[in-house]
Structure 1
Amino acid sequence: GVPLNYKIGSMIELPRTALMADEIAVEADFFSFGTNDLTQTAFGLSRDDAGSFLNEYLEKGLLTHDPFVTVDTDGVGQLIRIAIEKGKKVKPNIHLGVCGEHGGDPSSINFFNKMGLDYVSCSPYRVPTAILAAAQAVIREDHLNLFPEFNWQDS
C-alpha cells in the first residue's frame, strides 16, 4: 500500500449545511463556502432572474448592494459565522475558504478575512483583484491590532 495524502472537505452552499456544520466537521478537514449558491438559497432568489428586479430593490433601498456581487454580511454572513463557530467547536483547526464570485470582491474579501478564512477562490480574471484585496485586508487588520484607536472604513 502506498499512503495517500488527501483531505476530505465539504461545500457549505445551503443554509442547512451552515446550521449543521458541527456535525459535518466531525468528518471534514475543510469547509469551502459556496457563497453564490448560499446567497441564492438564503435570499430565495435565482441569480439568473434577479436582474429583472434587483435594480429596483437597490433604488428603493430594499438592498444596499447587489448580494451576488458583495456578500450580504447580515444574512449570508451570519450563516457563515454560525458554520465557522460550529465547525471550530468540533475541529478547531478546520481549514476554511470560499469559492465563487464573492472570492474576487474586495469588500467580501475583507469580511472573509475578519471571519478568519484561510483562502478565497474566484474566476481567473478576478485573481489580481483578489490578491490585492486580500493583502489590503491583512494590512488593515494588522494596523487595527497595532493602533486600535485608528478606525479604517471598510472598503
Structure 2
Amino acid sequence: KKVFDERGDSIPYQVGTMIEVPRAALMADEIAKYADFFSFGTNDLTQMTYGYSRDDASKFLPIYISKGILKHDPFEVIDQEGVGQLIKMGTDRGRHNKPKLKVGICGEHGGEPSSIEFCYDLGMDYVSCSPFRVPIARVASAQAAIKTKARK
C-alpha cells in the first residue's frame, strides 16, 4: 500500500495461502479472514497427514499396496477418506467465513483423474499441476463436469 501511495498508482492483487499442514486445514475458518484464496498443497499435506517422507515412500508403499493396507499410493491419488476430508473440512470452514473464497489444489494430484473429480465435486475453482499433466487434467475436468451434469 505504501508503494502504491508513493507512486500514485495501484494494481489489483490478491493474497492467498497454501494449506499444507493439517492444522491449517483445521484452522481454515480463521485463516480465511486474511486470505483471498486457498491453495491446498496436496503433496505436503499428504506427507504431513500420513507422517511419511516422500523420499522414503518408494521403499514401503508398494508393499502396503500389495498387501491391501492402502488402495493407492497417496502421493499419486488423493486419499479421500483421510487427506480428502482435511481438504473438504478446510474448504467448508474457509467458505463459511468467506463464501466467495477461491479454492484449489496444487501438486501432482492436480493431474490425476479421480483426484480432479474429487476436487470438482467439492466445488473447487481450479487445479494446478505440472505441465506434462495438463492434457490429462483438462480431459479429467471435462469428464467430471459431464458426470455431474448427467447426475442432475
Sort the TM-score into its range (normalised by shorter chain): over 0.9
- In 2, the alpha carbon distance for the partners of 1:18 and 1:106 equals 23
Of Structure 1 and Structure 2, the greater helix share is in: 2
- 1:108 correspondence with 2:126: no
Give unmatched runs, 5+ long, in structure 1.
146-155
- In 2, the alpha carbon distance for the partners of 1:106 and 1:10 equals 24
- In 1, the alpha carbon distance for the partners of 2:78 and 2:119 equals 9
Aligned to 1:2: 9
RMSD: 0.6
TM-score by length of 2: 0.94
- 1:136 correspondence with 2:143: yes
SS of the counterpart of 2:35?
Answer: coil
Aligned to 1:34: 41
Aligned to 2:77: 70
Aligned to 2:3: none
Q: CA deviation at 1:51?
A: 0.2
* Identity among equivalent pairs (%): 58
SS of the counterpart of 2:34?
Answer: coil
Deviating beyond 2 angstroms after TM superposition, the runs of 4 or more aligned structure 1 residues are none
Give unmatched runs, 5+ long, in structure 2.
1-7
Match of 2:127 among 97, 104, 120: 120
Number of corresponding residues: 145
TM-score by length of 1: 0.92
Aligned to 2:104: 97
Aligned to 1:148: none
Pair member with larger Rg: 2
SS of the counterpart of 2:17?
Answer: strand
